[in-house]
Structure 1
Amino acid sequence: MAIYNLGSINADNVYRVPHLVAPGETLAATALTRGLGGKGANMSVAAARAAARVVHIGAVGSDGRWASDRLMEYGVDTRHIAQVSAPTGHANICVDAAGENAIVLFAGANHAVDDGMIGAALAEASAGDIFVTQNETNGQPYAAQTAQGLGLRVVYAAAPFDAGAVRTVLPFLDLLVLNEVEAAQLTAETGSNLDEMAVADIVVTMGAKGCRWMSQDAGVQDFPALEVTPVDTTGAGDTFTGYLIAGLDRGMPMAQAIDLATQAAALMVTRVGTADVIPDLKEIQDQRLG
């Protein structure tokens, strides 16, 4: 099987700061690193490192070939990453001493993906494959509808959160993944509880409280978090989602896939960085927590 990911590709500029900046404040960073990021790229790397076959659908500018090359080095199929005239997307990320972060995004080439690019990639997919997307590119409704029509399992990671974006893809979803804040925003915007939405499976991540799986077939199950000392939470949610869908792609039951994803995310928050430091499956097996 395979995972097709319509996802963002960013250059991540990570600034270490004493605390997250306040309005009107000028703050000196203590360090700067640059690496591969974007929610889409992070999920592709995570799924590939979890031993899944991953096809990434996206775009970079002429300044972003290094990002496409890096994805290929990590085992991602990059044939459907286009080079466009817009600059490569980037994120300026501030990380404080407690590992919390604040992020400013510039979409760039991520918003230059067109339906032709998406259709060409999904034409290679087979029924039973997984399609995943997030809210950092354009083309999500077309891609989700097309993937559903081809018999793919459609997954949406609802970040950065926008209620309108969720509504456009909701009719096509088999799995919705969102964090606790996003879940509260979605219920407030729609006036419906999550268990009233016509999605077979919903997974809500809750940080140190673990996560909740809401299934139309299996009911509601809570999963505890693993106790670790975080140094950087950037990319942890993307790592969780990438490992989750990789587990499902390998035929794992949802509960087993959530356990694997929880292990990966817990190890991820003990590292500084994003896509470049996502753990691989052997590391998780060797350093199993809990």
Structure 2
Amino acid sequence: MNNAQTTRPKITVVGSANVDLTFRTPRLPVPGETFAGHSLHQGMGGKGANQAVVAARLGADVSFVARVGNDGFATQAIDAYKNDGINTKFIRHSKDQPTGTAAILVDDEAENCIIVVAGANAELCADDVRSAKTAIEAADVVICQLETPVEAAIEAFKIARAANVLTMLTPAPAKLVTDELLALSDACVPNKTEIAAITGKAVETEADCVLAAQTLMQRGVRQVALTMGGEGVLTLDHSGMSRIPATQVKAVDTTGAGDAFTGALAVSLAEGLPLSDAASRAAIVAAISVTRIGTQTSFPSLDEVNGWNQPEETK
């Protein structure tokens, strides 16, 4: 593990790579309905790639372990990652499956619904992870999500734990979270829906949220950052509980905000910030992202975050 913070924090992300097709619509359609949308935007997505990109833009040295197809989307995605300075050495090509693709509908209220076809993401395996062992062992933080097979995440976290590297889990989709995976997760970054599914506990009140976070810690997680959208973030670790209020902005597209938060949180933890301070900084990154259309295109640079001032009309 790299503890010298005179150097750039090192983040290794194991996870999904998608191409996002974002359709802007007046409202979300109902079954059987056809109506005209405002626009179509093609960008790069996937929870893994999103988290890698935001970490890189915040100054981290990032390696990405993933699977893509042998298609034009794969070429576009890898070129985009390289433009952000991400190490793409550990991205493998599938022979039979296309690059993962997401169709995203965003309405005028910034609400969204998403359809994802996993494609090559479904082929990411433990062997792919083992091929990136050196990058995992050299990292300060290793991030995994579950848009790729859980076996890949477990293998990554086992390698990281053996090397004393902080492990961070985005537990989505929540149905794939196992006791083994939680026990290997130093930090867990769920939303309210995910933590309710994992713990089987309702999260309607703040007391419910605290109880659910405590349940995760009882199952082996050491740090919990529960994201609650407009209600802010609740953090819990051995030092206690903190409540970070939401940063108030005018949202135009919330797609990828959770990934912006997670990638930023990983960078701040790698830099040695306490969990609550890291979450406060990550909340600003997420807030900036929702003021822009798109996923990776909405993620800010380190200079933008350092120079950001909350708009007067939202204070």
TM-score range, shorter chain: over 0.9
Residue 247 (structure 2) pairs with residue 203 (structure 1):
no
Question: What corresponds to 2:267 in structure 1?
Answer: 246
Match of 2:189 among 166, 169, 177: 177
Equivalence map 1:92-241=2 (5 Å): 92-126=103-137, 129-138=140-149, 139-162=152-175, 164-188=176-200, 193-196=212-215, 197=218, 198-215=220-237, 217-241=238-262
Say if 1:10 and 1:36, in contact at 8 Å, map to a contact too: yes
Distance 1:150 1:268, change over 3 A: same
Shift of the 231–167 alpha-carbon distance from structure 1 to 2, 3 Å rule, reads same
Deviations 1:26-63 (A, max 9, x none): 33322111011111111000111111111100011111
1:145, distance to aligned residue in structure 2 (A):
2.0
After superposition, the C-alpha distances for 1:148-202 in whole angstroms (9 at most, x for unaligned) are 122211110012322x434341110100001112112222179x83303221101
**Alpha-carbon separation, structure 1, partners of 2:50 and 2:301:** 13
Aligned residues: 287
Where do residues 270-289 of structure 1 align in structure 2 (5 Å cutoff)? 270-289=291-310
**Aligned residue type for 1:235:** G
8 Å contact 1:17–1:29 — kept in the other structure? yes
Residues 1:45 and 2:53 are matched in the alignment: yes
Equivalent pair of 1:231/1:272 in contact (CA under 8 Å): yes
CA distance in 2, matches of 1:3, 1:78: 13
> What is the distance in 1 between the residues matched to 2:212 and 2:298?
36
Please give the alpha-carbon distance, in whole angstroms, between the structure 2 residues aligned to 1:206 and 1:170. 20
Deviating 4+ runs (over 4 angstroms): none
2:104–2:113 CA contact under 8 A, matched in 1: yes
Task: Tell me if the contact between 1:5 and 1:57 (Cα under 8 Å) persists in the aligned partners.
Answer: yes
**What is the DSSP-based 3-state SS (H/G/I as helix, E as strand, rest coil) of the residue aligned with 2:249?**
coil
Whole-Å separation in 2 of the counterparts to 1:167 and 1:239: 26
The CA deviation at 1:250 is 1.4
1:77 aligned to 71, 75, 87, which one? Answer: 87
Q: Distance in 1 between matches of 2:182 and 2:64?
A: 22
Displacement of 1:125 in angstroms is 3.5
The structural deviation recorded for 1:77 is 0.9
Could you say what the CA RMSD is over the residues aligned between the two structures, in angstroms? Answer: 1.7
Q: 1:288 to 1:166 in 2, by over 3 A?
A: farther
Cα shift readout 1:120-155 (whole Å, capped 9, x = no counterpart):
212344366211100111222222222212221111
Classify the secondary structure of the residue corresponding to 1:79.
coil
Aligned mates of 2:232, 2:251 — CA distance in 1: 14
- Where does the alignment leave 5 or more consecutive residues of structure 2 unmatched? 3-9, 203-210
**How far did 1:208 drift?**
0.7
Give the secondary structure class of the aligned counterpart of 2:200. Answer: helix
- Retained in 1: the 8 A contact 2:25–2:106? yes
